[in-house]
Amino acid sequence: MNAETAVLCAPQRALDALIEFANDGMCGRCLPCPLATKQAIVTIERIIAGQGDEADLARLARVAAELVDAARCPKGEEAARALGESLRGSTEFERHVDGVCPEGTCRALTRFRIDPEKCTMCGACAEVCPRDAIEGDPYVPYLGDNHPYTIRELRCDGCGACVDVCEAGAIARVT
Ligand code: SF4
Ligand code: SF4
Ligand code: SF4
């Protein structure tokens, strides 16, 4: 799993578009536009970080409507239209608030599991894990109680480094 090559989820696409608008389009001439844009960015960042709730969804819908009213130029109108379409176009924002990133691109909402049937107990995943989130010991043939590899969810930040090194394909995303 590589976040750079993955398809971005709807909240991340909306965030990218808003940040691009804020950095390279928004002039700030009409005050409601930058205020609504900033609030939308902060709210989506909360949702992506796994801290969003129903109130954030309601706030985002309200801010999107405010942005439509505030827009006084084609760039502003386009930003407002894109955000509104993103919100209406899928259930992904709701899914994120429920703790699931359907595309697996939000690290805070991504969890992995090691399939013991596929795991060869090589230890490569534990070696690359930057969070020291994988427990287990390499396989020793004469031991009857080999310590299988498992992921400690609370430590894992969903970076996907373990998936990339597992030649057995034993690590899968859990949604
Ligand atoms: S709506 Fe257009 S004119 Fe108004 S602040 Fe935004 S970018 Fe500027
Ligand atoms: S890299 Fe894959 S096969 Fe090796 S210990 Fe980790 S999960 Fe098991
Ligand atoms: S996803 Fe990243 S942090 Fe989580 S167990 Fe794998 S390597 Fe460690």
29-62 pLDDT tens trace: 888 899 999 999 999 999 999 999 999 999 999 9
According to CATH, the topology of domain 110-174 is: Alpha-Beta Plaits (3.30.70)
pLDDT for 52 equals 94
For the question of whether the overall pTM of this predicted structure is more than 0.85, the answer is no
Question: Residue 112: beta bridge partners?
Answer: 173
- Tokens encoding 107: 């690290």
Identify the residue whose C-alpha is closest to ligand 1 atom 8. Answer: 27
136 Cβ inside 6 Å of ligand 3: no
| Per-residue CA distances from 163 to 40, 94, 111, 144, 148 (Å) | 33, 27, 11, 27, 16
Protein residues whose CB sits closer than 6 Å to any atom of ligand 1:
26-30, 33, 70-73, 75-76
Write down the domain spans for the chain: 10-97, 110-174
73-126 pLDDT tens trace: 988 888 888 999 999 888 999 999 998 898 888 988 988 999 999 999 999 999
User: What CATH number was assigned to the domain covering residues 10-97?
Assistant: 1.20.1440.230
132-163 pLDDT tens trace: 999 999 998 888 788 999 999 889 988 889 99
Q: How much distance in Å is there from the Cα of 98 to the middle of ligand 2? A: 29
CB 151 within 8 A of CB 173: no
Single-letter code of the amino acid located at 150: T
159 Cβ inside 6 Å of ligand 3: yes
Q: How much distance in Å is there from the Cα of 85 to the middle of ligand 1? A: 19
